[in-house]
Amino acid sequence: MLFLQLFIFSLVQHLYATMLSEGGSFIKGVVLGGLFCLVVSLLSSFSSVTESNTDDHHHHHVKAASKDELKHFSDGQLLELNNRIQVYCIIMVQPKNLVYWATTLDTWSKHCDKPVFYTSEASKALEAIDLNEKDDWSRLRKALTHAYKNAGDLRWFFLAQPTTFAIIENLKYLVLTKDPEEPFYLGRAVKSGELEYVEYDGGIVLSYEALKRLVQVFQDEEKCPEKGRALWKLSEDKQLAVCLKYTGVFAENGEDTNGKGLFNTKSVDSLIQDSMRDNPTDVVEGCCSDLAVTFNGMSPNQMQVMMFGVYRLRPYGHDFHDLLTFYPPEGSDND
């Protein structure tokens, strides 16, 4: 267990420091050596468990279907896929971020099949489910559990903060041919030490099976404690990855057919500036995928501009020749 590993290392370091301060002896050396052997033994057992789980993992880089792949589907099959892919958006908000909350409500969340806002405390200005929880990790657990219990027929879940801008149609295209009864945990996958996790700032996608396993492991305080026992507090996205790892679900990087990442933790402006510096001969190609799902780090006004550029601005007479169309929820006040 990751939390237990951290605890054992801390204990050994503390004993070692105490022994140095009090002077060495043969007995103390034997005790310290025994403790190190115990740590090595425990870590070996943890490694073997991790390796056995990894053997069952077959899709580390998840790519969107190509147009050629879609051509093999009949019109009826495409229509069925179109109707089946519905997304429950879990949007975590707080009254202190009221402007972002209102902007998200007015922009991209309208394209979710079921957008639900979860708040740390009630706000008179905007409607949300009040979880009455100050701790970020505990609040996230409650929100995910609520979403699982109230999903109905929806089988894909998108977890985001109000500072994220999402293009839900591109998310649907990414998972179009994926089976939600398999455990998918997608986004911008990064590595911290031995832990691979999906960055919260870029948005997190969970299939129904992955969320089901996650909610189940929430009940196991040894594997997935609500109040972390680590020496320092892990971020919510890392704690999420630790809990999912115990259920055999691993972080996966969402990509287009060319291998470009679809989930961005920066704004379009920042990504363009990075590309101008790193790839000045082809800035557009070096910047972002045409099918990007998320961006982050924008002001509320910039998010409104993004909404205009993505959904309203159209070159007259231009046809993208897409094989299917994702329609927003019926009755939705969307762009």
Residue identified by tokens 């590993």 is 5
| 284 is a domain residue | no
Work out the end-to-end distance of the chain between its first and last CA atoms, rounded to an integer number of angstroms.
47
Residue 235 sits in the same domain as residue 144: yes
What are the Cα distances from residue 331, in Å, to 75, 111, 139, 265, 328?
25, 11, 30, 31, 8
| 264 is a domain residue | no
Residue 90 sits in the same domain as residue 238: yes
Residue 213 sits in the same domain as residue 179: yes
| 270 is a domain residue | no
Query: Residue 93: what pLDDT?
Result: 95
Residue 50 sits in the same domain as residue 70: no
List the structure tokens of 98.
């009221």
**Number of domains forming the structure of the chain:** 2
CA distance 246 to 248: 6
What residues make up the domain containing 17?
Answer: 2-54
Residue 209 sits in the same domain as residue 104: yes
Query: Residue 328: what pLDDT?
Result: 65
Residue 38 sits in the same domain as residue 158: no
Residue 102 sits in the same domain as residue 158: yes
CATH code, domain carrying 121: 3.90.550.50
| 276 is a domain residue | no
pTM of the model: 0.80
| 26 is a domain residue | yes
Residue 142 sits in the same domain as residue 219: yes
CA distance 81 to 254: 19
Q: Which of 299, 113, 316, 139 is nearest to 227 (CA)?
A: 139
| 266 is a domain residue | no
Residue 76 sits in the same domain as residue 145: yes
Query: Residue 294: what pLDDT?
Result: 98
Query: Residue 22: what pLDDT?
Result: 47
Query: Residue 32: what pLDDT?
Result: 42
Question: Among 193, 223, 255, where does a domain finish?
Answer: 255
Residue 106 sits in the same domain as residue 171: yes
Residue 193 sits in the same domain as residue 224: yes
Q: What is the pLDDT along the chain (335 residues), one digit of tens a residue?
A: 444 443 343 443 444 444 444 444 444 444 444 444 444 443 433 333 333 343 344 457 888 888 888 778 888 887 787 788 999 999 999 999 899 999 999 999 999 999 999 999 888 888 999 999 999 999 999 999 999 999 999 999 999 999 999 999 999 999 998 999 999 999 999 999 999 999 999 999 999 999 999 999 999 999 999 886 555 688 999 999 999 999 999 999 999 999 999 999 999 999 999 999 998 998 888 899 999 999 999 999 999 999 999 998 888 777 666 666 776 667 667 66
